[in-house]
Structure 1
Amino acid sequence: MSSAVPPFIDRIFLRRLLAIAFPIALQIMLFSSRSLVDILMLGQLNELDVAAIGIAGRALFVVTIMLFGVTTGGAMLAAQYWGAGNQHGMKQSVALTMLMTTIVAVCAALIFGLMPELVIGLATHDAEVISRGAEYLQITAISLFAVSWGSSVSVGLRAMHQPSISTFFSAVGIALNLFLNWVLIFGHLGMPAYGIAGAAWATAISGLVEVALLFGYLHLKKHLVAFEWSIYPEVINVALIQRFLKLSLPTTLNALAWSGGIFMYHVIIGQAGVDGLVALSVMTPIESLAMAMLIGIANASAVLIGNQLGGNQMEAAYRQAWAVSVINLACAVVIAGLMLLIRDPILNLFAAMTPETRVLTENFFLIFCVVMIVKSLPMAMIVGVLRAGGDMRFCFYQDLASQWGIGIPITAFCALILKLPLEWVYAMLMLEELVKIIGSAIRIRSRAWMNNLVANESPNTPA
């Protein structure tokens, strides 16, 4: 143990946590930077493009979070299989994850491709914003397949403590996205200037190329997660699918309810006019970038705590549960301080904002720094601890109650009935997080979440 840190945090655990968290955080930052690049470049042209891409981005976010929810079941199984030494079981978990995420991606792509105006129209009545947002959403729906396949492979790589592989290819993808944005939005290298459609095609193409390169590399290296098609008949098995759905379905519903709630906050603020939509659209990628390290720590802790639970190291898992909560909170305080220092240089990049929108966005920025600190605790407790032990039902009910039962109704009442300033409405995002802190802390202390999901399986026997 180190005397420089609390006694329940040992240096070996901290090193392992950060070794997994940094690549995950970098990958999230790279993923989030796609929308930031789009908004920055389109922000040089028109505020309406920024509002349109913000709504479309939130709709895509709902499905992306759903896909991550589907992968959670596979991630829990893969982490525990790896901890138990069952490589074939881990391989099956990754293959089943890919199958399930592809089904979700197909359904979502059909909705966004066939009725994009209806989706965008939920958040605004501005005809021009709806038209531009629908065009962007229809094209970028293709990128959902890249998210599906990439996130499924990442499940196995994280379980093996090798997230840097997918992170590298994410960097390649974002570099290609940046180049294609420059070419297709503004019309360089002899191409027409496609504007918002160019941004959409850049996102779709770069995502698919990134996944193709990742898969090619894994097969070239004959990596464990580079499985052949022959594994799919094994995983199309009623018992395996039932167990996967038992873990993933509550998480997917949880993810749908939560991300749908985030979209609902966007809808509520959007009813006040385009200025609120623009400010929120600017803040969305900034929020994602700022939260990346916190999300990385939470996901890394899920892997390590899952390894401990799979190896029946229950006391170590319990100590680490509290450790990651403290680490995430401390990290959030540091990031919030850094964000305040660079607020003006960041917002200066959005040249097309009117003075009124700029003031509103500055206020949103300050509020977000406080919200981020509050959010760091439930994020670590839910994503990093409770889900690692398969405690999905509790997480789902808590999210449902805190967001749809408390946060959204109070926010809607303050915005639409009391007509409070948008800054106050934006600050309401903190309400549900405060509720989750209390509920999650009580649940962790109860130890009811500590489950070994692979206890009856032999390390040498296929699942």
Structure 2
Amino acid sequence: MAKNYSEDVSGINWKQFYKQVLVLIIPMALQNLINVGVTAADVFMLGLVGETALSGASLAGQIQFVMTLVFMGVTSGATVLTAQYWGKGDCRTIEKILGMAFRIAFLVALFFAAAAFCIPDMLMRIYSSEPEVIQEGVKYLRIVGVSYLLMAFTQIYLNIMRSIEKVVIATVVYSVSLLVNIFINAVLIFGLFGMPKLGIVGAAIGTLAARVVEAAIVFWYATVKNKIVKIHIRDLFTTDKLLMGDFLMYSLPVVLNELMWGLGSSANTAVIGHLGSAAVAANSVAQVARQLATVVAFGICNATAIYLGKTIGEQRFEDAKVYGRKFIKLSLIAGCIGGGLILIAAPIANAVMALTPEAQSYLTFMFFVMSYFTVAQALNTTLVVGVFRSGGDTKFGLALDVGTMWGCSILLGALAAFVFHAPVQIVYMLLMSDEIIKLPITLKRFYGYKWIKDVTRDTGQPHKISI
């Protein structure tokens, strides 16, 4: 018999809830911070070199960004299943899902790596019309493209481990990766210790070296340390048809969702890229500030997907509603703190970065826009990626992003930039309006509770987890 809201509240051990959630949030927030730190290291060091190098690396990074979003779509779709199977204690099915995710990710990475090596000029021209910026980006792409296959292995594995509450390994991997990246960046960008001064090429080599280290640590953990969910070569080549059907049903909308959102963000960058290197450089810094300000919010989002997925897998549907409300409050608090930090950081960023006066004026305005954008994004991401996907509601996010980004913010921003030739500030505000438009729609969806659904099958596997 279903319990009502008041019974749920009185029956939940909130002290245990917060303890379990913090165990998930803290390592994942640290992982997000470290991941942003890798990007921030490139931005900061190349910002000291000059706007052209900074803009080239930033725009070249859009290729990896789109690829990473496909990986996120694959793993987020897989998490819809793995988190609920984890709640049932069915580890063998999780191993099969891991194999399917690897297969798709390796094919995607191969495509992007080939494009980065063979047609880097064409890729860069999507984002910029300035020859100097394109030339710098080509140098970066041809080196970093080699790392894409390594990223397919590392990101898929670590993200699926998150869904079964194994979050510490990713913190270790990305911590070591950050140190490697910063050290090699500093040595090769600026020519320390007698090494050649390579500029943007040094940043690319540093990123590649960090990816090699990540993959090596993950391979050791997966083959030696992890005794619960293992990688089986046969799962890369064999297919459980029923499970593949479920995987595609819930993963494909998420992959398309992440891809459409990523292409939308990339389209924003392309519009800004054609407004000049000053706008590109300022946006590069503003995006890093946003990423830093949302590390806790995205940790909450990931924790939401894991915790609610497990709760739904355990058939505790009413508890999932109450937990969902609590996660919304936590994300709002995190978003407000992040937005405040962005406002505080604006004058500091302008003082530190070697930007032109024009770029500095853009940066101040962009930081203001990012301050309220961050609050809305924290709430929307927790709801769409955390809450809705945990219950198998994966199609809603796809429709939402296509409607609000491609039908509103990107369209309006592009018209403002290329038809009406509006100032950069107006264009930027329109491009960043999608999260504000989404907010009332996502809240309405949450309180309708149509997102709660058990998506698992009875596979006949044991429902106890031996750790």
Does the CA contact (< 8 Å) of 1:305 and 1:321 recur in 2? yes
Match of 1:322 in 2: 325
Does the CA contact (< 8 Å) of 2:290 and 2:342 recur in 1? no
Give the C-alpha shift of residue 339 in structure 1: 2.9
Match of 1:333 in 2: 336
| Unpaired stretches in structure 1, ≥5 consecutive residues | none
Q: Does 1:114 align with 2:118?
A: yes
Match of 1:237 in 2: 240
Structure 1 window deviating more from structure 2 (17-26 vs 78-87): it is 17-26
CA distance in 2, matches of 1:229, 1:123: 39
**Aligned residue runs from structure 1 range 119-198, under 5 A:** 119-198=123-202
Residues matched between the structures, number: 458
Match of 1:102 in 2: 106
SS in 1 for 2:252: helix
The percent identity for this pair of structures is: 28
Structure 1 window deviating more from structure 2 (426-435 vs 160-169): it is 426-435
Does the CA contact (< 8 Å) of 2:91 and 2:229 recur in 1? no
Match of 1:346 in 2: 349
Q: Deviations over 1:391-427 (max 9, x none)?
A: 1112111111111011111111222223222222222
Q: Does 1:42 align with 2:40?
A: no
SS in 2 for 1:43: helix
Match of 1:12 in 2: 16
Q: 1:6 to 1:167 in 2, by over 3 A?
A: farther
CA distance in 2, matches of 1:431, 1:42: 29
CA distance in 2, matches of 1:375, 1:11: 27
Does the CA contact (< 8 Å) of 2:271 and 2:417 recur in 1? yes
Match of 1:407 in 2: 409
Give the C-alpha shift of residue 163 in structure 1: 0.6
Q: Does 1:312 align with 2:280?
A: no
Structure 1 window deviating more from structure 2 (404-413 vs 86-95): it is 86-95
Which residue, 240, 245, 249 being the options, matches 2:252?
Answer: 249
What code does the residue aligned with 1:125 have? S
Does the CA contact (< 8 Å) of 1:8 and 1:320 recur in 2? no
Give the C-alpha shift of residue 199 in structure 1: 0.6
CA distance in 1, matches of 2:433, 2:181: 36
Match of 2:289 in 1: 286
What code does the residue aligned with 1:407 have? S
CA distance in 2, matches of 1:98, 1:243: 16
Give the C-alpha shift of residue 271 in structure 1: 1.8
| Unpaired stretches in structure 2, ≥5 consecutive residues | none
Which residue, 57, 61, 68 being the options, matches 1:57?
Answer: 61
Match of 1:372 in 2: 374
Give the C-alpha shift of residue 440 in structure 1: 1.7
Give the C-alpha shift of residue 188 in structure 1: 2.5
CA distance in 1, matches of 2:297, 2:164: 21
CA distance in 2, matches of 1:289, 1:454: 35
Give the C-alpha shift of residue 335 in structure 1: 1.9
Q: 1:229 to 1:179 in 2, by over 3 A?
A: same
**Aligned residue runs from structure 1 range 260-279, under 5 A:** 260-279=263-282
Structure 1 window deviating more from structure 2 (221-230 vs 5-14): it is 5-14
Match of 2:422 in 1: 420
SS in 2 for 1:288: helix
Does the CA contact (< 8 Å) of 1:9 and 1:323 recur in 2? no
Match of 1:439 in 2: 441
Does the CA contact (< 8 Å) of 1:136 and 1:200 recur in 2? yes
- Please give the TM-score of this superposition, normalised by the length of structure 1: 0.93
Q: 1:173 to 1:383 in 2, by over 3 A?
A: same
Q: Does 1:227 align with 2:231?
A: yes
CA RMSD of aligned residues (A): 2.3
Match of 2:299 in 1: 296
Give the C-alpha shift of residue 222 in structure 1: 4.1
CA distance in 2, matches of 1:125, 1:365: 25
CA distance in 2, matches of 1:430, 1:56: 21
Give the C-alpha shift of residue 455 in structure 1: 4.3
